[in-house]
Every structure is written in C-alpha cells, then in structure tokens.
Amino acid sequence: MKGGLDVTELEVVGDTARTGTHPVLEALAQRRAEGSKPGQRTDKYKIALAIEGGGMRGCVSAGMASALIDAGLGDCFDEVYGSSAGSLVGAYWIANSFGMVQYGCSLYYDLLTGKNSKKFFIDKTRALTLLGYGYVRWFTPRKIKELLGFRQKGLPLLNLSYLLRSCVEDMRPLDWEGFAARQKLIPLHIVASDVVAKKAVDLTLQGGHWSNIREMTLAMSVSIYLFIYLRGVCVLLYTHAHTHTHKHTYIYLYTHTHTHTPIYTYMYL
C-alpha cells in the first residue's frame, strides 16, 4: 500500500454502517401494506428471493423462508432463485398452500435425521473409502449388515434419490398443483453449473427444463450434486430429460478411483 502501511494498521474514522431502512425492505413493506400481488405490481421493482444451499444447512434456509410467509411476505416477491438445497426449499415456498413451507421444513428434522437417515440417506462409512481406507469399511457394522442382507448394498455417501423421490414425492409430497399454479406468477429458478461453458445455468419450467415433479427433482439433482475431480476413468451414463417443447441432457458421471469407489455427479448440457 502507499506509504508502506499494512491493512491491519489502517484506522477507520467514522461510522461506515448503513443507516436507515434498506430500500428493498421498504419496498417489501409497502407491497405488504398495499396487499400487492405478483403480476399486479404498482411499483417499478422486480424483487427476487435468493435461497442458498449447503446440504443440511438447508434446514436454516427453510426456517427463514417459513418466517417470510409468517410475516405476510409470501406475495411480495416476483421470482425465487435457489441453489442446491435452496431450490428444494424454494419449491415448497412457492407452493405456499396452508402449512406447505413448514411441512417442507419437517423433511429435514423428521426424515433426514435419526433412524431414517442412517438407514436410507447417509452412509458415513463411505467416507472411509473416499479417503483411501476402504478396507476398514469391511469391519464396520454397516458392511456386515450389507453382507447379511439387512441393509441395501451400494448406496452412496448421500442418497439423494431418497431425498428427492421418497421424501419429496411420497413422504412429504410437494403440492404440485399449487406449485404449478403459483409458479406461473412467481417462477422458480434452479441454479446449476454448466461444466462445458464454465458458467451458471438457469433451469426453469418456462425454459422447458421440466414439466412435472419428477423432471423438476432431476433438475434439482443437477444443482445439488457436487463436481469432483479425481484420478480415474469417467464413463458417461445417464441420459435425457424430455419436455413437450425441449430436450435437455443431464449427463451422469460414474467415476472409478483407484479404490474402485463410485463418485456420482451431474453435468448439464
């Protein structure tokens, strides 16, 4: 820096914090007071709700999204953007039928914890193999139960099929009709990564990326799965998601490392 000063030696004079109400909060408060509805705004703004991901931290985002509904702000946003777990929370938030957001929250603390989690969702022993200690897994109770037929074999570290199919479609079914109706007014944008173009990609119903709940949860998978590079051979397996107007390809990578452990990830093309 000029004068040879280190950044830790700088002295800040005055209060740099913002004072007063944030203009976005003012706009939201005005919309709530007016009873403003999506598609019928009287102001010039477009306000989006961005919901972060983070695996099980999605429970925190779900609680915050639920609080927005309780605060009467459910009709005050124009679009919803979600990444990873945030896209799932966003779908329940948009559905917004009575208790739907809280209903979706319960997915985290009822279905992804306890016995269900250990049996269907998380296999911590898979981490041993990923770290190069796969032989240790043969001496774990989980592996022994698999060999004896008491547990399903071949599950990954995180079984997202249990989350996005068993939970979202069966045990905590998303109100698809309610979602589809409100989604026309408040679109859901699922943010994923295009590994070919090296940029973010926006997956939407309006863009033809899905037309039903199964196709939507597949698009969520694209956002949720992590991209992992390890030495080994990648074999392209998975195939297509079709809609009535578009054809989109979600390529499923099956990567074998030197420990012969499958690593799953998605690419969007």
Instruction: Give CA separation, 110 vs 43, 66, 113, 124, in Å.
Output: 41, 16, 6, 19
Question: What pLDDT, on the 0 to 100 scale, is given for residue 80?
Answer: 95
- Both tokens of 204, joined, read 């939407």
- 3-state class (DSSP) for residue 171: helix
Nearest of 154, 216, 214, 157 to residue 183 by alpha carbon: 216
The answer to whether 217 and 90 have CB atoms below 8 angstroms apart is no
Please report how the helices 85-95 and 176-183 are oriented relative to each other, as an axis angle in degrees rounded to 10.
Answer: 90
- Both tokens of 24, joined, read 């976005």
The answer to whether 85 and 57 have CB atoms below 8 angstroms apart is yes
Residues of the chain with pLDDT under 70: 1-19, 97-98, 195, 226-269
Distance CA 227, CA 193 (A): 9
Nearest of 30, 7, 56 to residue 160 by alpha carbon: 56
Distance CA 59, CA 68 (A): 14
Distance CA 152, CA 138 (A): 15
Question: What pLDDT, on the 0 to 100 scale, is given for residue 54?
Answer: 80
Beta-bridge mates of residue 249 = 240
Question: What pLDDT, on the 0 to 100 scale, is given for residue 91?
Answer: 93
Question: What pLDDT, on the 0 to 100 scale, is given for residue 187?
Answer: 94
Nearest of 268, 223, 220 to residue 246 by alpha carbon: 268
Distance CA 217, CA 232 (A): 29
The answer to whether 118 and 140 have CB atoms below 8 angstroms apart is no
The answer to whether 250 and 209 have CB atoms below 8 angstroms apart is no
Residues 6+ apart with CB under 8 A from 41: 31, 78
- Look up residue 83 and give its amino acid: S
Whether the CA torsion 161, 167, 173, 178 is positive or negative: it is: negative
Question: What pLDDT, on the 0 to 100 scale, is given for residue 35?
Answer: 94
N- to C-terminal Cα separation, the chain: 45
Residues 6+ apart with CB under 8 A from 66: 101, 102, 105
Question: What pLDDT, on the 0 to 100 scale, is given for residue 269?
Answer: 37
Question: What pLDDT, on the 0 to 100 scale, is given for residue 147?
Answer: 82
Report how far Cα 153 is from the mean position of its chain's Cα atoms: 26
Question: What pLDDT, on the 0 to 100 scale, is given for residue 231?
Answer: 34
